[in-house]
Structure 1
Amino acid sequence: MRLALLHSPLVGASCWRAVVKDFAERGIWAAAPTLPAWDRVEAPFYGALAAGVAAQIAAMHPVVLVVHSGAGSLAASVVAAANGGVSQVIFVDAILPHPGRTWFQTAAPSLGASLRARVVDGQVPAWDQWFPPGALAATLPEGEARETFVRELTPTPLAYLEETAPQLDLPVGWAYLRLSKAYEDEAKVAREQGIPTLRLARHHLAMMTHADEVASALVNLVRGDHG
Protein backbone atom coordinates (compact mmCIF):
# COMPACT_ATOMS: atom_id res chain seq x y z
CA MET A 1 0.00 0.00 0.00
CA ARG A 2 1.43 3.35 -1.11
CA LEU A 3 -0.46 6.58 -0.68
CA ALA A 4 0.09 10.04 -2.16
CA LEU A 5 -1.76 12.61 -0.05
CA LEU A 6 -2.55 15.69 -2.11
CA HIS A 7 -3.45 19.03 -0.54
CA SER A 8 -5.90 21.54 -1.95
CA PRO A 9 -4.49 24.24 -4.25
CA LEU A 10 -5.83 26.70 -1.67
CA VAL A 11 -3.59 25.47 1.17
CA GLY A 12 -0.19 23.84 1.65
CA ALA A 13 1.10 20.29 1.98
CA SER A 14 1.71 20.54 5.74
CA CYS A 15 -1.97 19.73 6.32
CA TRP A 16 -1.09 16.07 5.65
CA ARG A 17 2.06 15.97 7.81
CA ALA A 18 0.46 14.30 10.83
CA VAL A 19 -1.14 11.57 8.70
CA VAL A 20 2.15 10.85 6.91
CA LYS A 21 3.77 10.44 10.34
CA ASP A 22 0.95 8.17 11.52
CA PHE A 23 1.31 5.97 8.45
CA ALA A 24 5.07 5.75 8.97
CA GLU A 25 4.48 4.49 12.51
CA ARG A 26 2.19 1.80 11.08
CA GLY A 27 4.80 0.78 8.51
CA ILE A 28 2.70 2.13 5.64
CA TRP A 29 4.40 4.17 2.92
CA ALA A 30 2.87 7.60 2.35
CA ALA A 31 4.04 10.96 1.02
CA ALA A 32 2.50 14.39 0.56
CA PRO A 33 3.45 15.85 -2.83
CA THR A 34 3.47 19.63 -3.08
CA LEU A 35 1.54 21.44 -5.77
CA PRO A 36 3.67 23.90 -7.78
CA ALA A 37 3.59 27.49 -6.53
CA TRP A 38 1.23 29.75 -8.47
CA ASP A 39 4.09 31.85 -9.81
CA ARG A 40 5.56 28.72 -11.43
CA VAL A 41 2.52 27.67 -13.44
CA GLU A 42 0.44 29.22 -16.18
CA ALA A 43 -2.95 28.48 -17.66
CA PRO A 44 -4.28 25.97 -18.33
CA PHE A 45 -3.77 25.44 -14.62
CA TYR A 46 -5.31 21.99 -14.27
CA GLY A 47 -2.77 20.40 -16.59
CA ALA A 48 0.18 22.33 -15.13
CA LEU A 49 -0.67 21.46 -11.53
CA ALA A 50 -1.34 17.81 -12.39
CA ALA A 51 1.97 17.51 -14.25
CA GLY A 52 3.80 18.81 -11.19
CA VAL A 53 2.19 16.19 -8.97
CA ALA A 54 2.70 13.39 -11.49
CA ALA A 55 6.42 14.15 -11.65
CA GLN A 56 6.73 13.82 -7.87
CA ILE A 57 4.93 10.48 -7.65
CA ALA A 58 6.50 8.93 -10.76
CA ALA A 59 8.93 6.84 -8.75
CA MET A 60 6.25 5.69 -6.32
CA HIS A 61 3.91 3.83 -8.70
CA PRO A 62 1.40 2.47 -8.18
CA VAL A 63 -0.15 4.77 -5.60
CA VAL A 64 -3.52 5.45 -4.06
CA LEU A 65 -4.13 9.14 -4.69
CA VAL A 66 -5.81 10.82 -1.72
CA VAL A 67 -7.24 14.28 -2.49
CA HIS A 68 -8.49 16.76 0.08
CA SER A 69 -10.94 19.61 -0.42
CA GLY A 70 -10.23 21.56 -3.63
CA ALA A 71 -7.77 18.92 -4.80
CA GLY A 72 -10.80 16.89 -5.81
CA SER A 73 -11.00 19.11 -8.88
CA LEU A 74 -7.56 17.90 -9.95
CA ALA A 75 -8.07 14.18 -9.41
CA ALA A 76 -8.85 13.21 -13.01
CA SER A 77 -6.04 15.41 -14.36
CA VAL A 78 -3.49 13.88 -11.98
CA VAL A 79 -4.60 10.35 -12.87
CA ALA A 80 -4.22 11.16 -16.55
CA ALA A 81 -0.80 12.78 -16.06
CA ALA A 82 0.40 9.83 -13.98
CA ASN A 83 -0.17 7.56 -16.99
CA GLY A 84 -1.32 4.46 -15.15
CA GLY A 85 0.52 5.20 -11.92
CA VAL A 86 -2.62 5.76 -9.82
CA SER A 87 -4.54 2.65 -8.78
CA GLN A 88 -7.34 4.30 -6.80
CA VAL A 89 -8.54 7.76 -5.72
CA ILE A 90 -9.93 8.60 -2.30
CA PHE A 91 -11.71 11.92 -1.90
CA VAL A 92 -11.42 13.36 1.61
CA ASP A 93 -13.93 16.12 2.35
CA ALA A 94 -13.33 17.03 -1.27
CA ILE A 95 -15.33 18.39 -4.15
CA LEU A 96 -15.94 15.82 -6.84
CA PRO A 97 -14.58 16.11 -10.40
CA HIS A 98 -16.56 18.64 -12.43
CA PRO A 99 -15.55 18.35 -16.11
CA GLY A 100 -16.82 21.23 -18.20
CA ARG A 101 -17.49 23.43 -15.17
CA THR A 102 -15.46 25.96 -13.22
CA TRP A 103 -14.70 25.97 -9.50
CA PHE A 104 -17.09 28.89 -9.10
CA GLN A 105 -19.88 26.76 -10.53
CA THR A 106 -19.32 24.20 -7.76
CA ALA A 107 -19.30 26.77 -4.93
CA ALA A 108 -22.17 28.44 -3.13
CA PRO A 109 -23.21 31.59 -5.02
CA SER A 110 -22.73 33.70 -1.89
CA LEU A 111 -19.12 32.54 -1.51
CA GLY A 112 -18.42 33.16 -5.18
CA ALA A 113 -19.84 36.68 -5.00
CA SER A 114 -17.83 37.43 -1.85
CA LEU A 115 -14.57 36.30 -3.43
CA ARG A 116 -15.15 38.20 -6.67
CA ALA A 117 -15.80 41.35 -4.66
CA ARG A 118 -12.43 41.00 -2.92
CA VAL A 119 -10.19 40.35 -5.93
CA VAL A 120 -6.93 42.31 -5.82
CA ASP A 121 -4.49 42.23 -8.75
CA GLY A 122 -6.28 39.23 -10.23
CA GLN A 123 -6.15 37.17 -7.03
CA VAL A 124 -8.65 36.18 -4.36
CA PRO A 125 -7.63 36.35 -0.69
CA ALA A 126 -5.79 33.53 1.05
CA TRP A 127 -8.09 30.70 2.17
CA ASP A 128 -8.16 31.59 5.87
CA GLN A 129 -9.56 35.02 4.96
CA TRP A 130 -12.62 33.45 3.36
CA PHE A 131 -14.16 32.90 6.78
CA PRO A 132 -15.08 35.01 9.83
CA PRO A 133 -12.22 36.00 12.18
CA GLY A 134 -11.38 33.20 14.58
CA ALA A 135 -12.82 30.41 12.44
CA LEU A 136 -9.44 28.77 11.80
CA ALA A 137 -8.37 29.20 15.41
CA ALA A 138 -11.52 27.40 16.52
CA THR A 139 -10.56 24.42 14.36
CA LEU A 140 -6.80 24.23 14.84
CA PRO A 141 -5.21 24.67 18.28
CA GLU A 142 -2.33 27.09 18.72
CA GLY A 143 1.07 25.62 17.98
CA GLU A 144 3.60 24.85 15.28
CA ALA A 145 1.16 22.95 13.07
CA ARG A 146 -1.21 25.89 12.81
CA GLU A 147 1.61 28.40 12.35
CA THR A 148 3.08 26.34 9.50
CA PHE A 149 -0.33 25.89 7.91
CA VAL A 150 -1.00 29.64 7.95
CA ARG A 151 2.46 30.47 6.56
CA GLU A 152 1.72 28.29 3.53
CA LEU A 153 -1.49 30.13 2.65
CA THR A 154 -1.27 32.51 -0.30
CA PRO A 155 -3.73 34.36 -2.53
CA THR A 156 -5.16 32.26 -5.34
CA PRO A 157 -5.37 33.40 -8.99
CA LEU A 158 -8.91 34.27 -9.96
CA ALA A 159 -8.12 32.71 -13.35
CA TYR A 160 -7.73 29.27 -11.74
CA LEU A 161 -11.15 29.47 -10.11
CA GLU A 162 -12.62 30.58 -13.44
CA GLU A 163 -10.91 27.89 -15.50
CA THR A 164 -13.14 25.16 -16.90
CA ALA A 165 -12.12 21.70 -15.70
CA PRO A 166 -10.99 19.46 -18.58
CA GLN A 167 -13.32 16.84 -20.00
CA LEU A 168 -11.66 13.87 -18.34
CA ASP A 169 -13.24 10.77 -16.84
CA LEU A 170 -11.88 9.12 -13.71
CA PRO A 171 -10.68 5.76 -15.10
CA VAL A 172 -9.92 4.16 -11.71
CA GLY A 173 -12.01 3.11 -8.73
CA TRP A 174 -12.68 5.69 -6.06
CA ALA A 175 -13.97 6.10 -2.52
CA TYR A 176 -15.12 8.94 -0.30
CA LEU A 177 -14.23 9.94 3.27
CA ARG A 178 -16.41 12.67 4.74
CA LEU A 179 -14.85 14.61 7.61
CA SER A 180 -17.40 17.39 8.10
CA LYS A 181 -21.07 18.10 7.52
CA ALA A 182 -20.10 20.68 4.90
CA TYR A 183 -19.33 17.82 2.50
CA GLU A 184 -22.36 15.66 3.22
CA ASP A 185 -23.80 16.33 -0.24
CA GLU A 186 -20.66 14.91 -1.90
CA ALA A 187 -20.69 11.89 0.41
CA LYS A 188 -24.35 11.32 -0.43
CA VAL A 189 -23.60 11.41 -4.17
CA ALA A 190 -20.87 8.83 -3.67
CA ARG A 191 -23.08 6.59 -1.55
CA GLU A 192 -25.97 6.77 -4.03
CA GLN A 193 -23.59 5.64 -6.78
CA GLY A 194 -22.54 2.63 -4.73
CA ILE A 195 -19.11 4.14 -4.02
CA PRO A 196 -17.36 3.03 -0.81
CA THR A 197 -18.03 5.81 1.69
CA LEU A 198 -17.06 6.49 5.30
CA ARG A 199 -18.02 9.38 7.56
CA LEU A 200 -16.18 10.91 10.51
CA ALA A 201 -17.93 13.42 12.75
CA ARG A 202 -14.99 15.84 12.86
CA HIS A 203 -14.09 18.95 10.85
CA HIS A 204 -12.59 19.88 7.49
CA LEU A 205 -8.98 19.81 8.73
CA ALA A 206 -9.38 16.69 10.86
CA MET A 207 -6.27 15.13 9.29
CA MET A 208 -4.28 17.71 11.28
CA THR A 209 -6.01 17.16 14.63
CA HIS A 210 -7.22 13.55 14.43
CA ALA A 211 -4.59 11.96 12.20
CA ASP A 212 -5.06 8.48 13.65
CA GLU A 213 -8.77 8.41 12.84
CA VAL A 214 -8.24 9.72 9.32
CA ALA A 215 -5.38 7.29 8.65
CA SER A 216 -7.46 4.35 9.89
CA ALA A 217 -10.39 5.37 7.71
CA LEU A 218 -8.14 5.63 4.66
CA VAL A 219 -6.71 2.16 5.31
CA ASN A 220 -10.23 0.76 5.60
CA LEU A 221 -11.24 2.34 2.29
CA VAL A 222 -8.16 1.01 0.52
CA ARG A 223 -8.85 -2.46 1.88
CA GLY A 224 -12.54 -2.27 1.03
CA ASP A 225 -13.71 -2.29 4.65
CA HIS A 226 -16.27 0.49 4.65
CA GLY A 227 -19.25 -0.90 6.45
Structure 2
Amino acid sequence: MRFVLVHSPLTGPQAWGPTAAVLASRGFEVTRPALPPWAALAPPFYRSLAAVTAAQYLGQDGPYVLVVHSGAGGLAPALAATGGEVAAVLYVDAIPPHPGRSWFDTAADALAQSLRDKAEEGCVPAWDQWFPPDALGSLLPDEAQRKAFLAGLSPTPLAWLEEPAPEVELPEHVGWGFLRLSKAYEREAGEARRLGWPTLRRDLHHLAMATHPQETVDGILALTRLLGLKP
Protein backbone atom coordinates (compact mmCIF):
# COMPACT_ATOMS: atom_id res chain seq x y z
CA MET A 1 0.00 0.00 0.00
CA ARG A 2 1.30 3.44 -0.94
CA PHE A 3 0.68 6.60 1.06
CA VAL A 4 0.39 9.78 -1.01
CA LEU A 5 0.99 12.84 1.18
CA VAL A 6 -0.58 15.93 -0.38
CA HIS A 7 0.43 19.34 0.95
CA SER A 8 -1.80 22.38 1.11
CA PRO A 9 -1.71 24.67 -1.93
CA LEU A 10 -0.94 27.42 0.59
CA THR A 11 2.32 25.77 1.67
CA GLY A 12 4.87 23.37 0.19
CA PRO A 13 5.67 19.65 0.52
CA GLN A 14 8.42 20.29 3.11
CA ALA A 15 6.02 19.91 6.04
CA TRP A 16 5.35 16.28 5.10
CA GLY A 17 9.07 15.38 5.01
CA PRO A 18 9.45 13.98 8.55
CA THR A 19 6.18 12.02 8.34
CA ALA A 20 7.21 10.60 4.96
CA ALA A 21 10.52 9.50 6.48
CA VAL A 22 8.80 7.74 9.39
CA LEU A 23 6.37 5.94 7.07
CA ALA A 24 9.29 4.80 4.90
CA SER A 25 11.21 3.62 7.98
CA ARG A 26 8.22 1.44 8.86
CA GLY A 27 8.31 -0.21 5.46
CA PHE A 28 5.63 1.75 3.59
CA GLU A 29 5.90 3.19 0.12
CA VAL A 30 5.45 6.96 0.14
CA THR A 31 4.90 9.56 -2.56
CA ARG A 32 5.05 13.26 -1.75
CA PRO A 33 3.74 15.26 -4.73
CA ALA A 34 4.91 18.85 -5.11
CA LEU A 35 2.56 21.40 -6.62
CA PRO A 36 4.08 23.71 -9.24
CA PRO A 37 4.26 27.50 -8.90
CA TRP A 38 0.92 29.26 -9.23
CA ALA A 39 2.15 30.90 -12.43
CA ALA A 40 2.24 27.45 -14.04
CA LEU A 41 -1.45 26.82 -13.29
CA ALA A 42 -4.60 28.20 -14.84
CA PRO A 43 -8.24 28.37 -13.72
CA PRO A 44 -10.20 26.41 -12.81
CA PHE A 45 -7.58 25.99 -10.12
CA TYR A 46 -9.12 23.07 -8.24
CA ARG A 47 -9.10 20.84 -11.31
CA SER A 48 -5.65 22.07 -12.39
CA LEU A 49 -4.19 21.36 -8.96
CA ALA A 50 -5.83 17.92 -8.85
CA ALA A 51 -4.56 16.99 -12.32
CA VAL A 52 -0.97 18.05 -11.59
CA THR A 53 -0.96 16.28 -8.23
CA ALA A 54 -2.47 13.04 -9.54
CA ALA A 55 0.01 12.91 -12.42
CA GLN A 56 2.80 12.46 -9.86
CA TYR A 57 1.45 9.22 -8.41
CA LEU A 58 -0.87 7.64 -11.00
CA GLY A 59 0.91 4.76 -12.64
CA GLN A 60 2.81 3.85 -9.49
CA ASP A 61 1.95 0.71 -7.59
CA GLY A 62 -1.32 0.98 -5.65
CA PRO A 63 -3.59 0.88 -3.84
CA TYR A 64 -3.17 4.46 -2.60
CA VAL A 65 -4.13 6.14 0.63
CA LEU A 66 -4.35 9.86 -0.03
CA VAL A 67 -3.43 11.93 3.03
CA VAL A 68 -4.33 15.60 2.62
CA HIS A 69 -3.41 18.51 4.85
CA SER A 70 -5.20 21.80 5.47
CA GLY A 71 -6.32 23.48 2.23
CA ALA A 72 -5.70 20.30 0.23
CA GLY A 73 -8.94 18.97 1.70
CA GLY A 74 -10.88 20.76 -1.01
CA LEU A 75 -8.82 18.95 -3.67
CA ALA A 76 -9.38 15.47 -2.31
CA PRO A 77 -12.72 14.68 -4.02
CA ALA A 78 -11.26 15.57 -7.42
CA LEU A 79 -8.12 13.57 -6.63
CA ALA A 80 -10.14 10.53 -5.62
CA ALA A 81 -12.07 10.76 -8.89
CA THR A 82 -9.01 10.99 -11.15
CA GLY A 83 -8.61 7.24 -11.39
CA GLY A 84 -6.05 4.86 -10.00
CA GLU A 85 -6.45 2.63 -6.99
CA VAL A 86 -7.50 5.12 -4.31
CA ALA A 87 -8.57 3.06 -1.31
CA ALA A 88 -8.97 5.83 1.26
CA VAL A 89 -8.63 9.57 1.79
CA LEU A 90 -7.43 10.79 5.17
CA TYR A 91 -7.91 14.43 6.15
CA VAL A 92 -5.21 15.72 8.51
CA ASP A 93 -6.28 19.08 9.97
CA ALA A 94 -7.90 19.63 6.59
CA ILE A 95 -11.02 21.36 5.28
CA PRO A 96 -13.77 18.78 4.53
CA PRO A 97 -15.32 18.65 1.03
CA HIS A 98 -17.13 21.88 0.19
CA PRO A 99 -18.58 21.57 -3.34
CA GLY A 100 -19.96 24.83 -4.65
CA ARG A 101 -18.26 26.82 -1.89
CA SER A 102 -14.95 28.65 -1.99
CA TRP A 103 -12.04 28.57 0.45
CA PHE A 104 -13.20 31.99 1.64
CA ASP A 105 -16.61 30.48 2.38
CA THR A 106 -14.99 27.98 4.75
CA ALA A 107 -12.84 30.56 6.56
CA ALA A 108 -13.73 32.79 9.47
CA ASP A 109 -15.17 36.10 8.33
CA ALA A 110 -12.42 38.09 10.04
CA LEU A 111 -9.64 36.11 8.35
CA ALA A 112 -11.31 36.33 4.94
CA GLN A 113 -11.72 40.10 5.23
CA SER A 114 -8.15 40.53 6.48
CA LEU A 115 -6.77 38.64 3.49
CA ARG A 116 -8.88 40.61 1.02
CA ASP A 117 -7.59 43.82 2.61
CA LYS A 118 -3.97 42.63 2.25
CA ALA A 119 -4.30 41.50 -1.37
CA GLU A 120 -1.97 43.15 -3.88
CA GLU A 121 -1.89 42.58 -7.64
CA GLY A 122 -4.44 39.78 -7.34
CA CYS A 123 -2.59 37.81 -4.65
CA VAL A 124 -2.75 37.50 -0.87
CA PRO A 125 0.53 37.35 1.11
CA ALA A 126 2.33 34.07 1.73
CA TRP A 127 0.74 31.90 4.44
CA ASP A 128 3.22 32.75 7.20
CA GLN A 129 2.29 36.43 6.88
CA TRP A 130 -1.33 35.75 7.80
CA PHE A 131 -0.39 35.45 11.47
CA PRO A 132 1.66 37.32 14.11
CA PRO A 133 5.43 37.33 13.45
CA ASP A 134 6.24 34.78 16.17
CA ALA A 135 3.48 32.30 15.24
CA LEU A 136 5.49 30.14 12.84
CA GLY A 137 8.44 30.07 15.21
CA SER A 138 6.26 28.57 17.93
CA LEU A 139 5.10 25.83 15.54
CA LEU A 140 8.50 25.13 13.97
CA PRO A 141 11.13 26.04 16.58
CA ASP A 142 13.98 24.38 14.66
CA GLU A 143 15.52 27.14 12.54
CA ALA A 144 16.68 24.94 9.66
CA GLN A 145 13.29 23.27 9.40
CA ARG A 146 11.53 26.62 9.56
CA LYS A 147 13.70 28.07 6.78
CA ALA A 148 13.01 25.04 4.57
CA PHE A 149 9.29 25.42 5.20
CA LEU A 150 9.38 29.15 4.41
CA ALA A 151 11.14 28.41 1.12
CA GLY A 152 8.02 26.58 -0.04
CA LEU A 153 5.68 29.51 0.57
CA SER A 154 4.59 32.12 -1.94
CA PRO A 155 1.76 34.63 -2.45
CA THR A 156 -1.52 32.93 -3.32
CA PRO A 157 -3.89 34.02 -6.09
CA LEU A 158 -7.03 35.64 -4.75
CA ALA A 159 -8.86 33.89 -7.59
CA TRP A 160 -8.16 30.47 -6.08
CA LEU A 161 -9.46 31.49 -2.66
CA GLU A 162 -12.63 32.78 -4.35
CA GLU A 163 -13.15 29.83 -6.70
CA PRO A 164 -15.97 27.43 -5.74
CA ALA A 165 -14.84 23.84 -5.29
CA PRO A 166 -16.20 21.63 -8.08
CA GLU A 167 -19.19 19.37 -7.68
CA VAL A 168 -17.58 15.92 -7.58
CA GLU A 169 -19.40 12.76 -6.57
CA LEU A 170 -17.42 10.95 -3.88
CA PRO A 171 -16.59 7.39 -5.00
CA GLU A 172 -18.52 4.89 -2.88
CA HIS A 173 -15.63 2.44 -2.61
CA VAL A 174 -13.28 5.01 -1.05
CA GLY A 175 -13.00 5.27 2.74
CA TRP A 176 -12.81 8.70 4.36
CA GLY A 177 -11.30 9.58 7.73
CA PHE A 178 -10.19 12.63 9.75
CA LEU A 179 -7.19 13.19 12.01
CA ARG A 180 -7.44 16.38 14.05
CA LEU A 181 -4.03 17.69 15.07
CA SER A 182 -5.02 21.08 16.51
CA LYS A 183 -7.94 22.54 18.38
CA ALA A 184 -8.26 25.09 15.56
CA TYR A 185 -9.73 22.27 13.45
CA GLU A 186 -12.26 21.04 16.00
CA ARG A 187 -15.13 22.38 13.91
CA GLU A 188 -13.87 20.46 10.87
CA ALA A 189 -13.45 17.32 12.99
CA GLY A 190 -17.06 17.67 14.11
CA GLU A 191 -18.20 17.99 10.51
CA ALA A 192 -16.27 14.85 9.61
CA ARG A 193 -18.05 12.95 12.36
CA ARG A 194 -21.39 14.23 11.09
CA LEU A 195 -20.44 12.81 7.70
CA GLY A 196 -19.91 9.46 9.37
CA TRP A 197 -16.13 9.43 9.02
CA PRO A 198 -13.89 7.77 11.61
CA THR A 199 -12.33 10.70 13.48
CA LEU A 200 -9.30 10.76 15.76
CA ARG A 201 -7.95 13.66 17.81
CA ARG A 202 -4.42 14.52 18.86
CA ASP A 203 -3.68 17.64 20.91
CA LEU A 204 -0.66 18.80 18.93
CA HIS A 205 -0.64 21.66 16.40
CA HIS A 206 -1.38 22.36 12.73
CA LEU A 207 2.11 21.49 11.48
CA ALA A 208 2.62 18.49 13.76
CA MET A 209 3.41 16.27 10.78
CA ALA A 210 6.72 18.15 10.70
CA THR A 211 7.50 18.22 14.43
CA HIS A 212 5.69 15.11 15.73
CA PRO A 213 5.93 12.64 12.84
CA GLN A 214 5.74 9.50 14.98
CA GLU A 215 2.44 10.57 16.55
CA THR A 216 1.12 11.69 13.17
CA VAL A 217 1.99 8.36 11.55
CA ASP A 218 0.40 6.47 14.45
CA GLY A 219 -2.82 8.42 13.85
CA ILE A 220 -2.73 7.84 10.08
CA LEU A 221 -2.23 4.11 10.51
CA ALA A 222 -4.95 3.90 13.17
CA LEU A 223 -7.42 5.60 10.81
CA THR A 224 -6.40 3.27 7.99
CA ARG A 225 -7.22 0.28 10.19
CA LEU A 226 -10.52 1.82 11.29
CA LEU A 227 -11.47 2.00 7.61
CA GLY A 228 -10.90 -1.75 7.30
CA LEU A 229 -7.59 -1.55 5.46
CA LYS A 230 -4.46 -3.41 6.43
CA PRO A 231 -1.51 -1.05 6.14
TM-score by length of 2: 0.94
- After superposition, give the CA deviation of every residue in 1:2-32 in whole Å (9 maximum; x if it has no partner): 1000000000001000011001111111121
Distance of aligned partners of 1:103 and 1:225 in 2 relative to their CA distance in 1, 3 Å threshold: closer
Measure the CA separation in 1 of the matches of 2:194 and 2:107.
Answer: 21
Higher deviation after alignment, 131-140 or 163-172: 163-172
Q: Which residue of 1 aligns with 2:52?
A: 52
**What residue identity is the alignment partner of 1:66?**
V
Identity over aligned pairs, percent: 53
Question: What is the CA distance between 1:112 and its match in structure 2?
Answer: 0.5
Question: What is the CA distance between 1:145 and its match in structure 2?
Answer: 1.4
Choose the corresponding residue for 1:191, options 190, 193, 217: 193
- After superposition, give the CA deviation of every residue in 1:134-155 in whole Å (9 maximum; x if it has no partner): 0000111133211100011100
| Alpha-carbon RMSD | 1.3
**What residue identity is the alignment partner of 2:153?**
L
Measure the CA separation in 2 of the matches of 1:19 and 1:137.
Answer: 19
Question: What is the CA distance between 1:192 and its match in structure 2?
Answer: 3.0
8 A contact 2:35–2:49 mirrored in 1 = yes
Question: What is the CA distance between 1:37 and its match in structure 2?
Answer: 1.6
Alignment of 1:194-213 (within 5 A): 194-213=196-215
Choose the corresponding residue for 1:175, options 165, 174, 177: 177
Question: What is the CA distance between 1:87 and its match in structure 2?
Answer: 1.2
Question: What is the CA distance between 1:84 and its match in structure 2?
Answer: 3.8
**What residue identity is the alignment partner of 1:153?**
L
Question: What is the CA distance between 1:225 and its match in structure 2?
Answer: 7.6
In the alignment, does 2:99 pair up with 1:99?
yes
Alignment of 1:1-227 (within 5 A): 1-60=1-60, 61-81=62-82, 83-171=83-171, 172-224=174-226
Measure the CA separation in 1 of the matches of 2:216 and 2:137.
Answer: 20
Measure the CA separation in 2 of the matches of 1:115 and 1:176.
Answer: 27
Question: What is the CA distance between 1:199 and its match in structure 2?
Answer: 0.5
Measure the CA separation in 2 of the matches of 1:189 and 1:113.
Answer: 24
Measure the CA separation in 2 of the matches of 1:137 and 1:97.
Answer: 30
Measure the CA separation in 2 of the matches of 1:85 and 1:41.
Answer: 25
Unaligned runs of 5+ in 1: none
Question: What is the CA distance between 1:170 and its match in structure 2?
Answer: 2.0
8 A contact 2:139–2:207 mirrored in 1 = yes
Question: What is the CA distance between 1:106 and its match in structure 2?
Answer: 0.5
Unaligned runs of 5+ in 2: none
Query: Which of structure 1's runs of 4+ aligned residues deviate more than 4 A?
Result: none
SS at match of 1:105: helix
SS at match of 1:59: coil
Measure the CA separation in 2 of the matches of 1:167 and 1:175.
Answer: 20
Question: What is the CA distance between 1:62 and its match in structure 2?
Answer: 2.1
Higher deviation after alignment, 186-195 or 166-175: 186-195
